[in-house]
């Protein structure tokens, strides 16, 4: 596709938590089976030719900077360790995608030439145009920002149509559905309500950034097989968070 011809494909950013890559109860930080399933579902979506996909992966299966800081570690240092954890997850996902024939590149916000490309906005946009899956690793490259915020930032920089937040619940609730059987699930909810009521499915900075740049967020259940493919292709699989509510 030439630079003069704007893409007609949907461009989305998929946010995966690091914890989602770990099998419950396992000592292994990364489950090859879970990564393989996600890669299969991404492949199914990409082969339609209808979508351009960026992915942001968290690092919580290895490390959580906020938790380490609460135990006395310098917060900035703890966050940098967490950024490196996201690189490990990104490389594992890249390997699985490439094994299935899906063109894929990892761009890191922290320079590490031997394992990943350094993040350059225009280069990443061109790679998306060319049909490659771009995995954005190492967070924003700065401490004190979550990978949720990274997803919102990269979506804004890439001109994405949506952020897809894969979680272990099937949408946004007014309280924790694991603790409250009467929790109300929203099909659609506004950014402002998510921020004011402090819903924990995404941090307030990410919500605010997407609100400012008019990028809807879809919160959906990663655990249901097929949901990743459906979410990427724009199916109704979770709660939509946008300015309308």
Known binding residues for ATP are: 15-18, 60, 64, 167, 173, 176
For residue 232, give the nearest of 11, 20, 18, 7 by alpha carbon.
Answer: 11
For the chain, the maximum distance between any two Cα atoms, rounded to a whole number of angstroms, is 53
Kindly list the distances between the CA atom of residue 223 and the CA atoms of 21, 24, 226, in Å, as whole numbers in the listed order: 11, 12, 9
Rounded to the nearest angstrom, the gap between the alpha carbon of residue 5 and the centroid of all alpha carbons in its chain is 27
Neighbours of 157 (CB within 10 A): 17
Known binding residues are: 15-18, 59-60, 64, 79, 140-147, 167, 173, 176
Backbone angles phi, psi at 47, to 5 degrees: -70, -10
Known binding residues for UMP are: 59, 79, 140-147
């Amino acid at each position: 596709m030439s630079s003069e011809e704007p893409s007609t494909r949907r461009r989305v950013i998929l946010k995966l938590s690091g914890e989602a890559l770990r099998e419950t109860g396992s000592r292994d930080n990364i489950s090859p089976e879970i990564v393989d399933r996600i890669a299969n579902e991404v492949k199914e979506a990409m082969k339609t030719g209808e979508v351009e996909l960026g992915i942001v992966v968290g690092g919580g299966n290895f490390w959580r900077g906020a938790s380490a800081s609460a135990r006395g570690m310098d917060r900035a240092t703890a966050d940098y360790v967490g950024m490196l954890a996201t690189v490990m997850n990104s490389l594992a996902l890249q390997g699985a995608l490439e094994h299935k024939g899906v063109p894929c590149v990892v761009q890191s916000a922290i320079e590490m030439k031997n394992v990943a490309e350094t993040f350059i906005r225009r280069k990443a946009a061109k790679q998306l145009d060319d049909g490659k899956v771009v995995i954005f690793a190492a967070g924003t490259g700065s401490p004190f920002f979550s990978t949720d915020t990274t997803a919102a930032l990269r979506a804004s920089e890439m001109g994405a149509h949506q952020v897809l937040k894969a979680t272990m619940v099937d949408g946004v609730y007014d309280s924790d559905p694991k603790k409250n059987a009467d929790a109300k699930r929203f099909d659609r909810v506004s950014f402002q309500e998510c921020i004011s009521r402090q819903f924990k499915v995404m941090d307030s900075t990410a919500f605010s950034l997407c609100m400012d740049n008019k990028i809807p967020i879809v919160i959906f259940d990663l655990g249901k097989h097929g949901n990743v493919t459906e979410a990427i292709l724009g199916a109704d699989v979770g709660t939509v968070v946008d300015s309308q509510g």
